[in-house]
Structure 1
Amino acid sequence: MELTKKERLFLYNQYEILKHLNPEEKEDYEKNQEIVYNGFKHNYNNLIEHFGEETPEEVSEFVYDVLQMYRCINDSYYSLCDEEKEEYNKLNTTFEGFDGNEEPQYYWYACFLLQKLKIYEESYKDGKIDTNSHWNKIDRYTGMISRWKEVRTGKYDKLSLENIRYIVSRY
């Protein structure tokens, strides 16, 4: 990583401000100031060690597809007649999250969409959501999305009970 003198000056000043805003972190900010002030290029990566890796576009698109699929399933569920609703176990239509350890990019992007942007609120249960499934979900969601795309006619169409069952089936 390369930093111009101007960028180093900006970073130095930002760390100075942060020392006053977060006095408990003062020592760390002073170390970072020393790195940028003296131009210790070898240690520039220390300045960004807490930054996450970039999330690939295909990860973002997949998470959106999963959440959109669940939105479609939920909207469709509520459109079913009472008799059909009784036949169907509502829990099968709840977004189960991603594994925070094994699927971290998917997990963090879902957290961002649901908790920071506060979209796809139908994924919440009683006003809360647990985005960590503690179990790999990508393969399951891939199959579900494939089945969803098979039966739908448009992005916002209503699904029949039979279609919902087909999408959420595990086999």
Structure 2
Amino acid sequence: MNMSHTERLILSNQYEILSKLNPEQADVYQRAKTIIERGYCLQLLELEKSFGHLERDTCQEVIDTLEMHHAMMVSFENLPTTEQAEFTPARFKFNGYSRSQERELADYVCFLLEVDKRFPEVDCPCEELSSDIAMRDKYQRMLAAWRDCPRSYKLSIQELRKILNA
């Protein structure tokens, strides 16, 4: 992280203010203030990691994944009852991303749900939306199968099977 002396001074002052506003986190802010003031390069990289960064394509992939789950649920609900019996509605529920392995993706989902108020059909509190395993690869395969379908919101039972089994 390259910062001018002015930027370092401003950030140092902000950490000082934060330590006064949040006494329970004062040690964390004082440590960050010291790192900024003294220019410890290795620890500056550590501070930089907390800022995060998601590329535009990755953001769109997450949005598409949520949209796909919505489309599958709508399609499931529109199937004849005899075909619905093949699945449980839980199969179409969005399970989230792994907080331990895909934290930035999970945080973006929380942003979309809680801040932007998108995808109200995901009726699970954000802190509970976390898969035990990494899901991105699975969701990418599912998205590829979904994109091959001619009507994304009128999926047949065969198309639903194909997406779920991707």
Range of TM-score over shorter length: 0.7 to 0.9
Alpha-carbon spacing, 1:142–1:21, altered in 2? closer, same or farther (3 Å): same
Please name the residue that 2:58 is paired with: 59
Query: How far does residue 15 in structure 1 lie from its aligned partner after superposition?
Result: 2.6
Query: How far does residue 14 in structure 1 lie from its aligned partner after superposition?
Result: 1.8
Counterpart CA distance in 1 for 2:45 and 2:142 is 41
8 Å Cα contact 1:74-1:122 kept in structure 2: no
Residue type at the aligned position of 2:84:
K
Cα deviations across residues 116-146 of structure 1 (Å, max 9, x unaligned)? 433222232xx44632211232332222112
Counterpart CA distance in 1 for 2:118 and 2:102 is 21
Please, what is the CA RMSD of the aligned residues? 2.9
Counterpart CA distance in 2 for 1:64 and 1:46 is 29
8 Å Cα contact 2:69-2:93 kept in structure 1: yes
Counterpart CA distance in 1 for 2:24 and 2:136 is 40
Please name the residue that 1:79 is paired with: 78
Counterpart CA distance in 2 for 1:141 and 1:34 is 42
Secondary structure of the structure 2 residue equivalent to 1:123: coil
Select the residue among 138, 141, 145 that pairs with 1:147: 145
Please name the residue that 1:113 is paired with: 112
Percent identity reads: 28
Alpha-carbon spacing, 1:80–1:48, altered in 2? closer, same or farther (3 Å): same
Alpha-carbon spacing, 1:12–1:80, altered in 2? closer, same or farther (3 Å): same
1:25-64, aligned counterparts within 5 Å?
25-36=25-36, 39-42=37-40, 45=44, 48=47, 51-64=50-63
Query: How far does residue 150 in structure 1 lie from its aligned partner after superposition?
Result: 1.3
Counterpart CA distance in 2 for 1:55 and 1:8 is 25
Secondary structure of the structure 1 residue equivalent to 2:132: coil
Highest CA radius of gyration, 1 or 2? 1
Structure 1 unmatched runs, 5+: none
Cα deviations across residues 80-127 of structure 1 (Å, max 9, x unaligned)? 344443443212111122222233333332233234433222232xx4
Query: How far does residue 148 in structure 1 lie from its aligned partner after superposition?
Result: 1.0
8 Å Cα contact 1:98-1:133 kept in structure 2: yes
Structure 2 unmatched runs, 5+: none
Normalising by structure 2, we get a TM-score of 0.76
